[in-house]
Amino acid sequence: MIKLKINGQERNWDGDPDLPLLWFLRDEVGLTGTKFGCGQALCGACTVMVDKDAVRSCITSVSDVVGREVTTIEGLHPTGDHPVQKAWRELNVPQCGYCQAGQIMQAAAFLMENPKPSRDQIREAMSGNICRCGAYQRIENAVRLASTGV
């Protein structure tokens, strides 16, 4: 039996310990905010936080996160008003919106590590997250807006 902590809540898993965390979250727990995009850590749609790091849940197995704190988009902020979420809304970032949970989790983890990033640092930190709609200009601006605390 594997014991996990997701968004502050204890979860148990007695199945395949190699199951990617993504599918455990989505299919077994029902936290569908975390999205499947590529399965190979190439697109960032499945990004969650493990402790304070942004990780790709599609290549992270359930057994890898035992004893660590997993935070998904649903657990980022109790009312959905994390500065990154607010900045995203302020700038009308999303188009289809599918990649945005991953983008927001990546940005939130990045800003904890680097609260006042430069433009190049933002573009580099967010480069693992693909947005096929191409909302990049607004993503960049929203990360900057969130970093200035608005």
Partner 1 sequence: MIMNIIANPKKLRGFEQSIRAIKIENVSRRSVLKGLGIAGGFVLAAPVMSGHAFAAYETGASKMPHGTVVDPRVFVAIASDGTVTIVAHRSEMGTGVRTSLPLIVAEEMEADWPRVRVQQAHGDEVRYGNQDTDGSRSTRHYMMPMRQIGASARMMLEAAAAKRWGVPANEVKALNHEVVHQESGRRIGFGDLAADAVKEPVPSIENLKLKDPKNFRYLGRGEIGIVDLRDITTGKAHYGSDTRLPGMKYAVIARPPVTGGKLVSFDAADTMKVSGVEKVIEVKGWPWPSKFQPLGGVAVIARNTGAAIKGRDALKIVWDDGANGKYESVAYRTKLEEAARKPGLVVRKEGDVDAALKGADRVIVGEYYLPHLAHVSMEPPVAVANVKGDKAEIWAPVQSPGGTREDVATTLGISEENVTVNVTLLGGGFGRKSKCDYALEAALLSKEIGAPVKVQWTREDDVRHGFLHTVSVERIEAGLDKNGKVIGWRHRSVAPSIASTFKADTVHGAPFELGMGLVDMPFEIANIQCENPEATAHTRIGWFRSVSNIPRAFAVQSMVGELAHATNRDQKEMLLELIGSPRIVDLSSVKDLWNYGEPYDSYPIDTARLRKVVELVAEKGEWGRPVPKGHGLGIAVHRSFVSYIATIVEVAVDDKGKLTVPRVDTAIDCGTYVNPERIQSQIEGAAIMGLSLAKYGAITFKDGKVQQKNFDDFQVTRIDEAPLATNVHIVPPGADTPPSGVGEPGVPPFAPALTNAIFAATGKRIRALPIGKQLET
Site residues for partner 1 per CB under 8 A: 15-16, 18-20, 22-24, 26-28, 30-40, 42-43, 45, 72-74, 76, 80, 85, 88-89, 92, 94-101, 104, 123-124, 126-140
CB-nearer residue toward partner 1: 55 or 99: 99
Report the nearest approach of partner 1 to the CB of residue 30 (Å). 6
- Pick from 47, 102, 121: which is nearest to 94 by CA? 102
CB-nearer residue toward partner 1: 5 or 77: 77
Report the nearest approach of partner 1 to the CB of residue 54 (Å). 14
61 forms beta bridges with 20
Report the nearest approach of partner 1 to the CB of residue 47 (Å). 12
- Pick from 29, 27, 23: which is nearest to 11 by CA? 29
Q: What is the DSSP letter of 37?
A: S
Q: Is 56 helix (H, G, I), strand (E, B) or coil?
A: strand
- In the structure encoding, which two tokens stand for residue 12, read together? 């148990």
